[in-house]
Amino acid sequence: MSQAYNTALRISFEVRGGLIMRQMHHWAALLFMAAIVVHMFRVFFTGAFRKPRELNWIIGTLLFWMGFLEGFCGYSLPDDALSGTGLRIASAIMLSIPVVGTWVTTSLFGGEFPGTVILDRLYITHVLLVPAVILALITVHMGLLVKQKHTQWPGPGRTNRNVVGVRMFPGFAAKGGGFFMIVFAVIAFLGGLFQINPIWLFGPYKASVVSAASQPDWYVMFLDGSTRLMPAWEFRFHLFGHGYTMAPVFWPTVVLPGILTMLPMFYPFIEARFTKDKAIHHLLQRPRDVPVRTGLGAMSIAFFVVLLASGGNDVIADKLHLSLNATTWAGRIGLLLLPPLAYYVAHRTALGLQQHDREVLARTRGAGERRLGRTEEDEPGGRPPAGGARLLLPDRAAARADAAGRGTHLARADPRGDRHRPALTQVDTKKARLTPGLLRCQAQLANDLPVSSSVLRSLRTQAWPPPAPWSSNAPETIAASAGAPSSSWVRVSEQTPS
């Protein structure tokens, strides 16, 4: 067995706490990559990558690939049968690169695979070079974040020109510290109780030994999947009087990752070009309000999931007693059908949710008055009784509801936001079910109780600032998505009896 494998075994069984450290380190790597991917989705689906944050997005995609490389270098170090197989595949991928492949492999492995220097080189890359690059990129990433400020959800007082949030010290720092402790506890829990990468079961790597069910860590599996689904198409060509062969593994493991790096990396510019959107954006968007982007996001997730599942098609075939050929073809057909289907479903769902918003707006604008009875127009002197709930709706929503003949002209909003007597409409909680506060209001009305100030307070807190800015049914979000200028935002105010 190699020195590397021996050392890893000794860390596991001879060094006190060595095994839990190894396990925590491996679980942390899996969570690190999962956190990066979730963060990337958050940024993508809410449009936080738009101008001026394109550069931070590009740095982010580099961080993803650096995390990928760091993980691969790390789990290749113990030199057990599994990591050795991974290195073997890596050398085959390098060899498949036309013209320069053999040079790259020889220089990296110091000769024919497995060579004698690769583990030393991977070691220093893993413990120093890549962490330094990641640290540098994160520093730039955070620097840009501090300079550009964080995006925010639209809401009362939140505009494209300001940032509403918690101060870094002490609020955010304390929250960040608490979150760090929780993440550490989860990793320690996993490292202590859930076995991972048991190299003593795999045995030392021998180049002549390869076993089935050799899967890499989850963030590399899509590359394994793409390789397994690629048909054995070999291309031969001549260049400068030499014949070259382009092995089938070249496409799914070199060309595809190249596309999967460039496309996401330049996506902000591609979207800005198609939408002709050159504006600066500090406000986030709800996925339902951008159906095409949401559809594209769902499509790429489906693409990755099919590839990821195909990376374990031998295990699936074994567990489900299917032929490996069947699972391979299922993956190929799935890769062609599922992404466009995911696009269609996500796109239609987003349009459906938009339609739902419009209905809620139209309903909240119209029917509410009747149920809660008196509105300011009904009252002599035009003010609702104390304790009445009030909602200011944007013009366009009101106009649309009016155009559809669904309501009375009560809720026409005064865009100047007339401080003295804004035109307000009562909310029909039975129909609207907008927020928990309104539901409580409904409950009190149902029990014939006056709408208590606590409900109004919760309604106000609901709207100022909104508790869950992206909760799709919050009137302010609906109002926002209906394009209300921030000044005529939903404002729930208690009318003080004159």
Q: Which residues bind ligand HEM (CB under 6 A)?
A: 36, 39-40, 43, 48-49, 53, 56-57, 60-61, 63-64, 67, 138, 141, 145, 150-151
Please give the backbone phi and psi of residue 246, each rounded to the nearest 5 degrees, phi first.
-100, 105
Q: How long a stretch of residues is the chain?
A: 498
Least Å distance between CB 181 and ligand HEM? 17
Nearest to ligand HEM of 104, 138 (CB atom): 138
Least Å distance between CB 354 and ligand HEM? 23
Nearest to ligand HEM of 138, 256 (CB atom): 138
Least Å distance between CB 261 and ligand HEM? 11
Name 50's Cβ contacts closer than 8 Å, sequence gap at least 6: 268, 271, 272, 277, 281
- Distance linking the first and last C-alpha atoms of the chain: 89
In the complex, residue closest to ligand HEM by CB: 60
- Look up residue 116 and give its two tokens: 């004698």
Nearest to ligand HEM of 38, 186 (CB atom): 38
User: Which amino acid is present at 407?
Assistant: G
Crossing angle, helix 130-148 and helix 54-75, to 10 degrees?
160
Nearest to ligand HEM of 58, 316 (CB atom): 58
Nearest to ligand HEM of 67, 312 (CB atom): 67
Nearest to ligand HEM of 140, 315 (CB atom): 140
Least Å distance between CB 489 and ligand HEM? 21
CB 463 within 8 A of CB 491: yes
Least Å distance between CB 165 and ligand HEM? 11
Least Å distance between CB 145 and ligand HEM? 5
Nearest to ligand HEM of 57, 202 (CB atom): 57
Other beta carbons within 10 angstroms of residue 109's beta carbon come to 19
User: Which amino acid is present at 173?
Assistant: A
Nearest to ligand HEM of 257, 385 (CB atom): 257
Least Å distance between CB 395 and ligand HEM? 29
Least Å distance between CB 79 and ligand HEM? 27
Least Å distance between CB 455 and ligand HEM? 33
Nearest to ligand HEM of 38, 213 (CB atom): 38
